[in-house]
Structure 1
């Protein structure tokens, strides 16, 4: 019975599969073992290294003399793999790529670009393949095809192994640096630091800093039931940290979690990036969520006190239900002064006490002020008729004595609402400064 198409496919083997496992050189080109031109690995290595020094290294600005030893080992390892592969018709196993992975790891630590490592491997393979195929004759077509397949498979394995080792080392370096800089930031925030510990990780302590409190809201992916919320939060934070490094460079020290934290941005030359509306927009875009930040400028020895202040300002932003964005002391000076005495704040907010039993009236006051005292917009926000707004404002006036049709009444209501919101958001059990 003739074989079906499926059976023919199953019974078909590639030349690589037929050659694999042989103990003798099974790939012949030009009447001899294909790997013959590569057996003098020292000479071929020297030729490849010379080519790399002349034509590749200048493209990357690499210090060839410092990298020569590693480069020789890398090229030599690649040639040994190629020779063994051509002799036995089998692509090396991952376990045989140790020397290449080690070189990639060292170069990652030295800051050599990954593209330079891949290029070095590629050039070595290209030159070796040229030497292998040079003596080919017209009846070597099938052998050349097999050699080409083997070389492609080997390059895939080498590049994958080198890239994985390189990226792994880069992540470790990044984690170590991040941990070290977080230690410096923690020391400065607690004023327990010493310049020596900072120098060990390449961080120069500045005379003054922008101290930033940052709130990072949830990314939509963190609320998606079909996704891993922890992974989404880590990705958000990783994007943000990357952008902070891109915008501020080594001047930035960060203590951040998925919900926010503290940034210290060293101040120096006037041309250097500072925390402003534009830079916060870049960070928000990278994190893919709207950030809220408060910032003050501080001398280094005052950083702990300044950090407490910016986080207090951030609390005021949240309690005042302000939109995301950048806030400085001048934007929150009234709210800040209100919080200096909890007892005074309570007294100011007390004017709204009669509205506790009428939440719709309190919400009307809030919406009216947020709408710039426009009854039409207020009605639209509350989904009620403008006449209902007027009626509610008259009830507010009767209960509290605040006439929201006058400038004095508007000012009194605004301050009272700020105090009310602050007390509503304040942590239970907070110290009453005025009572002490």
Structure 2
């Protein structure tokens, strides 16, 4: 951070005398220092009351002048004070460049005053000029000490702020009832307390690429706030004016790192806990092979099935009872055919194209499926039961 050269003889004597004289002028130097700072930027005026700034500047300047002529091995009180000042200014919100400017400005004032104290005497002027490097090294060391303390404090304050903000977001997403929580979160997250929101829950398939994913979905029509959890990533999406779930789904489609669920729109931050639960329910409707996002409002029947695991298992055993006795490979073929037929809106020809078989093969498999389940795909109620049972079977943990 800068060192003081060993000073002996006449130069040190003259410098010490000049510094002693300068200490008597500190009040007027501080007045001029603050006048110049306030003229340079009105931010100085807003950071701290004038009397407090004057008192701190007076102490810093006095310690700095004493340091210039202090013995080489004396403690660096100027650096200790600079570190304290850096921490204080970070907490008060003064920009770092203005903190450094303040040290430079004080250094120029002190140096000019030292030169004036020479009174034009050649010997004194030469002695002071030979000390110039040492004087400015001290000023640089003070500015550097203040800057390092400022940056460390700023990082710590940002970490604390981030932790507080994340705690507020967690409380909202968990749906914890607390008076004023939504208002505090709105201020901390810089989001409106009331307005259209949706929650996105993404299954964590891999950790890499999250930053790239967040960049891909940047859009001025939406504001996202993301929170990593143990097995998923939760995103709060603030929908801009006139934006809909269709717009949100279109933005996310094909850009998500894994399957995801999207909640319906809610009317404010206070409803995020409910929205998060609905988004998780939407995610549970995603089969293992799903890679995109699904909306709960488009998967309500399946959501009803997965939200009641015990009833879902009863539905599977009640509808697919005979089917479940087949060999796994045989059973998989029949269920795959049913899935393709449903996806093709009941078209055997299109299902055959998807399955790479003849359409008569599709008919034969479906008839066998009807026999094993004692249900007819031509009867609406039977078709509904088989469709829901298929969803329950595919999404069951086992």
Instruction: Please classify the TM superposition score into its range, dividing by the shorter chain length.
Output: 0.5 to 0.7
Residue aligned with 1:26, SS = helix
Kindly name which structure, 1 or 2, has the bigger radius of gyration based on alpha carbons: 2
Q: For the aligned residues, what is the CA RMSD? A: 5.3
1:194 correspondence with 2:166 = no
For 1:104, which of 89, 93, 117 is the aligned residue?
A: 89
Task: Give the Cα separation in 2 of the matches to 1:149 and 1:359.
Answer: 84
1:86 correspondence with 2:68 = yes
Match of 2:373 in 1: none
For 1:312, which of 281, 286, 292 is the aligned residue?
A: 281
Residue aligned with 1:358, SS = helix
Task: Give deviations 1:18-38, integer Å, cap 9, x for gaps.
Answer: 428x9x993856x95457546
Residue aligned with 1:276, SS = helix
Match of 1:336 in 2: 303
Deviation at 1:55, TM superposition (A): 1.3
For 2:394, which of 413, 421, 429 is the aligned residue?
A: 421
Task: Give the Cα separation in 1 of the matches to 2:63 and 2:243.
Answer: 50
Match of 2:248 in 1: 276
Residue aligned with 2:282, SS = helix
Q: How many residues in Structure 1 have an aligned counterpart in Structure 2?
A: 353
For 1:212, which of 182, 187, 199 is the aligned residue?
A: 199
Task: Give the Cα separation in 2 of the matches to 1:293 and 1:399.
Answer: 31
Aligned 1:44-193 pairs, distance under 5 A:
44-57=29-42, 63-64=45-46, 67-88=49-70, 91-92=76-77, 95-97=80-82, 99-108=84-93, 112-132=94-114, 137=125, 141-180=129-168, 182-183=170-171, 186=174, 189-190=175-176, 192-193=177-178
For 2:266, which of 294, 298, 312 is the aligned residue?
A: 298
Task: Give deviations 1:270-306, integer Å, cap 9, x for gaps.
Answer: 268988257759x97xxxx668342212356876554
Deviation at 1:314, TM superposition (A): 1.4
Task: Give the Cα separation in 2 of the matches to 1:173 and 1:179.
Answer: 10
Q: TM-score if structure 2 supplies the norm length?
A: 0.63
User: Is the contact made by 2:351 and 2:362 (CA closer than 8 Å) also made in structure 1?
Assistant: no
Task: Give the Cα separation in 2 of the matches to 1:390 and 1:157.
Answer: 77
Task: Give the Cα separation in 2 of the matches to 1:130 and 1:219.
Answer: 62
CA spacing shift, 1:163–1:291, aligned 2, 3 Å: farther
Task: Give the Cα separation in 2 of the matches to 1:65 and 1:176.
Answer: 24
Deviation at 1:118, TM superposition (A): 3.7
Task: Give the Cα separation in 1 of the matches to 2:130 and 2:138.
Answer: 12
Deviation at 1:256, TM superposition (A): 4.9
1:358 correspondence with 2:329 = yes
User: Is the contact made by 1:25 and 1:33 (CA closer than 8 Å) also made in structure 2?
Assistant: no
In the alignment, structure 2 segments of 5+ residues that lack a partner are 119-123, 345-349, 371-376
1:260 correspondence with 2:227 = no
Match of 1:323 in 2: 291
CA spacing shift, 1:263–1:312, aligned 2, 3 Å: same
Match of 1:41 in 2: 26
